[in-house]
A = this chain, B = another copy of it.
Amino acid sequence: MTRSTSGHYSRTAAQSPAGGHHTLAETESAVSERLANLELDMGSMAAVQNVYRAANAFRNHLESTVLAPHELTWTGWVVLWVVWIWGDIETRHAATEAGISKGTLTGVVGTLEGRGFLTRRTHPDDARRVLLALTAKGKRLMSQVFPEFNREEARLMSALSTDEVATLTQGLRKAVASLDD
């Protein structure tokens, strides 16, 4: 699975054919023409578009270069990573850490369980709860893949200086934090 990217808002985009892809400058121009009467916050529009575009680019790149060869999807990886970091973990907590809904977690865990990477078992004290743990196979996979994954993360950010990366992270945290208020 290879996700691609160049779209403004969505997750992926095919390689741009001739005449098929407009630059952001062209896009902003077209928007200004269409809505000449309105006051637009072009700065925020560009920021939101670029955040989404970058997220897709990163996910696509990491999936195609590191994860897909190991039969992993982005979200499968995230869930494995959460269980790996925190050890035996309840599904409701894993969903929160992984940033997905409980229903989605059930499905993703089913996929990972089917591939032999982790197991689920009923909580000893509370039959409502389910505990997740990595299998031996899952642990070997994480030890092998995480360094590769982090190297590619470093490559993704290599065009920016250390200060620029830190500033980027800070700005994003600030924007997200203001949503949680």
Contacts and interface: CB of A to CB of B under 8 A. Distances in A.
Nearest to A56: B99
Interface in A90-114: 92-93, 95-102, 104
Contacts of A177: 159
Copies, count: 2
Contacts of A13: 95-100
Most buried by B among A4, A99, A151, A175: A99
B176 A54 contact: yes
Nearest to A3: B101
A8 B44 CA distance: 23
19 contacts: A6-B99, A6-B180, A10-B100, A14-B101, A20-B93, A21-B96, A30-B86, A31-B85, A34-B84, A41-B150, A41-B151, A41-B154, A43-B166, A43-B169, A53-B176, A54-B172, A55-B55, A159-B178, A168-B175
